[in-house]
Structure 1
Amino acid sequence: MTVTPSGEAETYESNASHQHSREQGILKLCAGAIGIVFGDIGTSPIYAFRETFAGHHPLDPDALHIYGVLSLVFWSMMLVVTIKYVSIIMRADNRGEGGSLALLALINRTTGGKRWTAPIVLLGVFATALFYGDSMITPAISVLSAVEGLTVVEASFDPWVLPIAIGILAGLFAIQSRGTAKVGALFGPIMLTYFAVLAGLGVWHIADNPSILYALNPWYAVQFFLSDGFMAFLALGSVVLAVTGAEALYADMGHFGRKPIGLSWLCFVLPALMLNYLGQGAMILSQAPEVAAQTIKNPFFLLAPQELRLPLVILATMATVIASQAVISGAFSVTQQAIQLGFIPRLRITHTSASAAGQIYIPVINWALMWMVMLLVVTFQSSSNLAAAYGIAVTGAMLIDTCLLAVVLFSLWKWNKAIAGVLLAVFFFVDLAYFGANLTKVPDGGWFPLLVGCIAFTLLTTWAKGRKLMIERMREAAMPIKIFISSAANSATRVPGTAVFMTSTPDGVPHALLHNLKHNKVLHERVILLTVKIADEPFIKQETRCMLDDLGNGFHRLIIRYGFMQEPDVPAALMRLTGCGPEFKMMDTSFFLARQTLLPASRPGMAVWREKLFAWMLRNAESAMEFFRLPTNRVVELGSQVEI
């Protein structure tokens, strides 16, 4: 084949254009990640440095402590965020999706559900439960800390801090039902501006005291511990506030991908954060001791000159609203995953965007979060008080992530045991130190996220256990399908149309089918026994979604599989189905559902109080009709009784 010079030029231009568009795509994803993923960790400079010195265990703002704390902040970011999450854990994705539940599903699928995975599953569920405590505290402390900046501008604003913070938070939760697509378009530019301002303010003060850069030396952290011992250990409880939000990088990986999040962190977010922390330290060291003692009470806003402090408060407030929005959206996503994986009853889920599948709204979660956030703000009154409650949920989740990582390194990736052991020993040492330091906060407010976590854990495990027992009891009582077909198919009157009987187990005859035959004494010409299954992977391709088995005499067993990130739509799946007779028409199709009533059983199952809790959750679960998008005028519900 002969290639002309002009052809070479065209090929070169085509490749260059493809490379340019790919680079543009990555840059766009990086900007999106900065706008959404890094909101939580990005707002930490507002309160983290302050709390370490002026919080519940105050330190003198002298050179030893400032250098030591900044060294701890830097190396925490490097070890926890850069190495543990960005470099290692984010490689353990479940078909592109991240987060504790996605990692649990990956471990369960890959290891085949071995016996030792049961405690690992419980750990992962508890990490999810702790997330709900974190998602209540993050909006409260973030918005409150930003609004408190008004008192730096003008002390007389102090009585207005709480009302303004409550108003902002109420507005934020109120607009959730309208979706975040339009507001989300502003997130990237605002957060880019915010991080640029962080870096600029930091560089301005570092220029006055460049020796602050020596704080990056880990020896200063060691000196801090050698000098102060237990006080340095207690300081870790506040230092860890600088890395809160690290777990969000992993949870949001499915939206942006590992590479854009990693690039954004290393090239933009990490430098901006560290420059700001170093700038705060440089500013304090350049002041007289008596002035520094006052400045350390709110150093972030004092970085800016007097005339720019109000704009900085406004920018910081917008950043904290964005961080809160990301956490609220994260709570919706985690809840959807938990529903699909069988840890939470069906809840009403509304899609707020026709194009972005991940943009959802769950009313129950939204309003529950709003009331708890309001309660936190009114009860704790200030971000400094809230800081005592903050951190324990985050460090607990980080510790559990390290446990899950141990399973991944040894069982999934088969790493060299010596290398993996050393790495895990470092991670466990750091995580246990932070978790231990935060345990000292329990009497001062740390009990709150632990209480929320324990309640959520009880609800999640009760639903999972009760659902498993209920399915087992129904399977035990079910008649074999072949016997039913042979006895009933020829004796019952057949009527035109299609009947779809929804059943949670693909074995035996559904209760709804038995009750329908008993009361109406007819069978439809086409009978579909339908089970919807949620796989341990985020997405199932359209072509492999349905599994159809012809049982004869017009009976068909159909299993429809969805990923845990997908929303079931039974009518849409039936419309695409072939191989079981004529095309499905919804006006000729009836859907039969069984509504179970639980009865107390003498056999051991769950404790009585858990049986009652499960029964309450079952009664209040969203109707299968709405959850599976069934046409409301084509659904028949039949009651059945089950012992657990």
Structure 2
Amino acid sequence: MESAKTGKTPLPALALAALGVVYGDIGTSPLYTMKEVFAVSPHPVPLTHDNIFGILSLILWSLIMIVSVKYVAFIMKADNRGEGGIMALLALASRNVAGNVRKERMIMLIGILGACMFYADGMITPAISVLSAVEGLEVAAPHMHGAIIPITMVVIFILFWVQSKGTALVGAFFGPIMVLWFGTLAVLGAVNIMHEPLVLQALSPIYAVRFFTAAPWVAFVALGSVVLAVTGTEALYADMGHFGKKPIRLAWFGFVLPALVLNYFGQGALILHDNAAVKNPFYLMAPEWLLFPLIILATVATVIAAQAVISGAFSVSRQALQLGYLPRMPVMHTSDKQQGQIYIPRVNWGLMLAVMALVLGFGSSGDLAAAYGIAVTGDMVITTLLAGVVFHGIWGWSWLRTGSLIAVFLTVDLAFFGANVLKIPDGGWFPLLIGIVIFTLMTTWKTGRDLLFRRLKSEAMELAPFVDAIGSFPPTRVQGNAIYMTPNPYGVPHSLLHNLKHNKVLHEKVVLLTVKIEDEPFISRRERIIVEALPHDFYRVSVRYGFKDESDLPRDLELCAEQGLELETMDTSFFIGKETLFPARHSEMAFWREKLFITMFRNADSVTNHFKLPPNRVVELGAQVTL
């Protein structure tokens, strides 16, 4: 994947594109991190010379350990055919334990929990980023304090409204704007460091160590705010498939990391010079004449950061949908050239309502910061655990080597997570609540689908004797092709039995079609279709998709001709079973979860829409199923 991408597009151009998409979240963290540490958080760090040096050292070495070492050096190597992200890592880890039901279930639950944390992060990031940028108005024009929330709400609405238009046009400007943004960060930081050059002593990790030894509890609590400096690390991994590893690494080490370090140390220098600047050190670094342009640039940068998170939510949702963790929902492609540019209306508007509720409910970026850390650090812990499975099971590392590296990563991750647990009463409860809700929905859908499949399979007639009976007692055969969609390729679909029972006929060609979603991102056209000829003009066809492939059955069924099965579209009918579900007490699922699953099932997108079937060629035949 990487070589293919870098072979088509020059490495600097890909690095520029990655700069605009991948680093928006972590690039806007300087807006609120230092302010949160010293002035806003429920447990602010006392403003002393040693504490400022300690915090700066912690931020620097957190960026190095978590981003540079953990994600860039190791996690990004755990790619699933070039693709990254929590769902790709889940699929990769699950492949290693295939056949072990207990381990598969454990890894599935861990992966789903990670996806839930990603969604929670996706709700908080646009809210805190845009709000923190607009709050610069308080510095430039204090009388405009009352306009901060309304302006933020308008920006958020416009951001989500334009999603359906596609991001290709806007995306072309992301890279140059973020170059300007990171350049501004670096210049502002460098100018302020020149006033207090001694602040560069904090580059040494010894100051972080002294901070912990001098005041262990204060330092531990401070980690809950320091973690804001490394938010957005999941984007490095999730967007790897779009750009490749080299461009992301080049952008990080060549531009992003130096700019962030300069800006954080510039804020530290400013606070050392003027303690009063701690109320908003980012904006106070700038001269007064630059404030309004800086506010506009910051707002645009935060919109780009939010855009990357929203696009990531679309991508994760489609992957989860394909892997069977979410019900079918409409997925719109907003670009004819790039497959990854998609728009999911239900996810988009649901996120928008959640983001607006967060802005209204918390009211300031400082209060929102308390809710931010749990989702980020929870996702970091889960990524480390799944990566450990891959390191040992896929890469073949020894337990000692794997355990040593994972222990180092978990020590850092759990320290940050533990510090953020303290913030649960102040807002950390929100991502936990969101995580519980989404976790319940995803596990209910997955479990319900498995239960429904077992019910249908147990009630289905075996295919082989049925085909033999057709040969012995042939019904009337009519012209045309009939495709019966079924998840069980070895049983007779209910829709086929209903059609034969009521219409007393079979088509010339009867195709039993099964769609399989593999734990790989993409399946090539050569491997997409498997055709198996059965007696009496019956065929068993399997269509394989990767979890990032677009499901288009009419297009892909044309490949059957290469294996001897001609299916003329205008002479083909699709028969689909439409189940009506009823809950049953004392079933394998709790009664309330059965009711929840049935509600989700009823509101899922139709099979016709999901697989792009021609509506005028589809016949739905109903069946009642008791769970």
How does the TM-score come out when normalised to structure 2? 0.97
Alignment partner of 1:410 out of 392, 397, 407: 392
**Matched residue, 1:128:** 115
- What is the SS of the residue equivalent to 2:477? strand
Q: What residue identity is the alignment partner of 1:52?
A: V
Q: How does 1:540-619 map to 2 (within 5 A)?
A: 540-578=523-561, 583-601=566-584, 604-619=587-602
Q: What residue identity is the alignment partner of 2:112?
A: V
**Matched residue, 1:326:** 308
Give the C-alpha shift of residue 510 in structure 1.
0.7
Give the C-alpha shift of residue 418 in structure 1.
3.3
- What is the SS of the residue equivalent to 2:10? helix
In 1, Cα distance between equivalents of 2:403 and 2:470? 62
Kindly indicate whether residue 514 of structure 2 is the aligned counterpart of residue 531 of structure 1: yes
Deviations 1:557-614 (A, max 9, x none): 0000011000111101112322676632222111110111123346631010111111
Deviations 1:126-176 (A, max 9, x none): 000111111111000000000000111111111111110000000011111
Alignment partner of 1:274 out of 261, 275, 282: 261
CA shift in 2, pair 1:507/1:414, >3 Å: same
Alignment partner of 1:641 out of 604, 616, 624: 624
CA shift in 2, pair 1:602/1:197, >3 Å: closer
- What is the SS of the residue equivalent to 2:624? strand
CA shift in 2, pair 1:258/1:580, >3 Å: closer
Q: How does 1:393-404 map to 2 (within 5 A)?
A: 393-404=375-386
Alignment partner of 1:511 out of 482, 486, 494: 494
Give the C-alpha shift of residue 22 in structure 1.
5.4
**Matched residue, 2:350:** 368
In 2, Cα distance between equivalents of 1:260 and 1:72? 27
**Matched residue, 1:8:** none
Kindly indicate whether residue 446 of structure 2 is the aligned counterpart of residue 464 of structure 1: yes
**Matched residue, 1:106:** 92
Kindly indicate whether residue 462 of structure 2 is the aligned counterpart of residue 480 of structure 1: yes
**Matched residue, 2:221:** 234
In 2, Cα distance between equivalents of 1:607 and 1:101? 27
Kindly indicate whether residue 426 of structure 2 is the aligned counterpart of residue 440 of structure 1: no
Give the C-alpha shift of residue 552 in structure 1.
1.5
In 2, Cα distance between equivalents of 1:48 and 1:582? 62
- What is the SS of the residue equivalent to 1:595? strand
**Matched residue, 1:97:** 83
Kindly indicate whether residue 56 of structure 2 is the aligned counterpart of residue 73 of structure 1: no
Give the C-alpha shift of residue 422 in structure 1.
2.5
Deviations 1:231-256 (A, max 9, x none): 21111000000000011111111111
Give the C-alpha shift of residue 225 in structure 1.
1.7
Q: What residue identity is the alignment partner of 1:318?
A: V
CA shift in 2, pair 1:79/1:581, >3 Å: closer
Q: What residue identity is the alignment partner of 2:15?
A: C
**Amino-acid identity (%):** 55
Q: What residue identity is the alignment partner of 1:571?
A: P
**Matched residue, 1:14:** none
- Answer yes or no: is the 8 Å Cα contact 2:561–2:567 preserved in 1: no
CA shift in 2, pair 1:151/1:419, >3 Å: same
Give the C-alpha shift of residue 89 in structure 1.
0.6
In 1, Cα distance between equivalents of 2:399 and 2:618? 56
- Answer yes or no: is the 8 Å Cα contact 2:96–2:390 preserved in 1: no
Alignment partner of 1:355 out of 290, 314, 337: 337
In 1, Cα distance between equivalents of 2:512 and 2:377? 46
Unmatched tracts of structure 2, length 5 or more = none
Q: What residue identity is the alignment partner of 2:118?
A: F
Kindly indicate whether residue 310 of structure 2 is the aligned counterpart of residue 310 of structure 1: no
- Answer yes or no: is the 8 Å Cα contact 2:193–2:269 preserved in 1: yes
Deviations 1:469-505 (A, max 9, x none): 1111111111111221222354311110111111112
More off after superposition, 546-555 vs 108-117:
108-117
**Matched residue, 2:178:** 191
**Matched residue, 2:150:** 163
Kindly indicate whether residue 318 of structure 2 is the aligned counterpart of residue 336 of structure 1: yes
Kindly indicate whether residue 169 of structure 2 is the aligned counterpart of residue 204 of structure 1: no
Q: What residue identity is the alignment partner of 2:47?
A: P
More off after superposition, 22-31 vs 586-595:
22-31
Deviations 1:96-127 (A, max 9, x none): 01111101111222332423232122111100
In 1, Cα distance between equivalents of 2:433 and 2:233? 22
Alignment partner of 1:38 out of 15, 23, 28: 23
In 2, Cα distance between equivalents of 1:275 and 1:503? 59
- Answer yes or no: is the 8 Å Cα contact 2:98–2:104 preserved in 1: no
- Answer yes or no: is the 8 Å Cα contact 2:94–2:107 preserved in 1: no
CA shift in 2, pair 1:603/1:58, >3 Å: closer
In 1, Cα distance between equivalents of 2:380 and 2:145? 35
- Answer yes or no: is the 8 Å Cα contact 2:67–2:230 preserved in 1: yes
- What is the SS of the residue equivalent to 2:490? coil
Give the C-alpha shift of residue 423 in structure 1.
2.0
Q: What residue identity is the alignment partner of 1:629?
A: K
- Answer yes or no: is the 8 Å Cα contact 2:488–2:514 preserved in 1: yes
Q: What residue identity is the alignment partner of 1:551?
A: L
More off after superposition, 139-148 vs 227-236:
227-236
- Answer yes or no: is the 8 Å Cα contact 2:130–2:152 preserved in 1: yes
How does the TM-score come out when normalised to structure 1? 0.94
Deviations 1:291-313 (A, max 9, x none): x1x31010001111110111111
Kindly indicate whether residue 242 of structure 2 is the aligned counterpart of residue 258 of structure 1: no
CA shift in 2, pair 1:582/1:253, >3 Å: closer
Kindly indicate whether residue 138 of structure 2 is the aligned counterpart of residue 140 of structure 1: no
In 1, Cα distance between equivalents of 2:550 and 2:454? 25
Give the C-alpha shift of residue 199 in structure 1.
0.5
Give the C-alpha shift of residue 508 in structure 1.
0.6
- Answer yes or no: is the 8 Å Cα contact 2:582–2:598 preserved in 1: no
In 1, Cα distance between equivalents of 2:470 and 2:339? 43
Unmatched tracts of structure 1, length 5 or more = 1-17
CA shift in 2, pair 1:211/1:24, >3 Å: farther
- Answer yes or no: is the 8 Å Cα contact 1:479–1:509 preserved in 2: yes
More off after superposition, 59-68 vs 183-192:
59-68
- What is the SS of the residue equivalent to 2:84? coil
Give the C-alpha shift of residue 628 in structure 1.
0.3
Q: What residue identity is the alignment partner of 2:188?
A: L
- Answer yes or no: is the 8 Å Cα contact 1:556–1:580 preserved in 2: no
Q: What residue identity is the alignment partner of 1:116?
A: K
**Matched residue, 2:72:** 86
Deviations 1:47-96 (A, max 9, x none): 01110001221223321111000010011111111111000010000000
- What is the SS of the residue equivalent to 2:516? strand
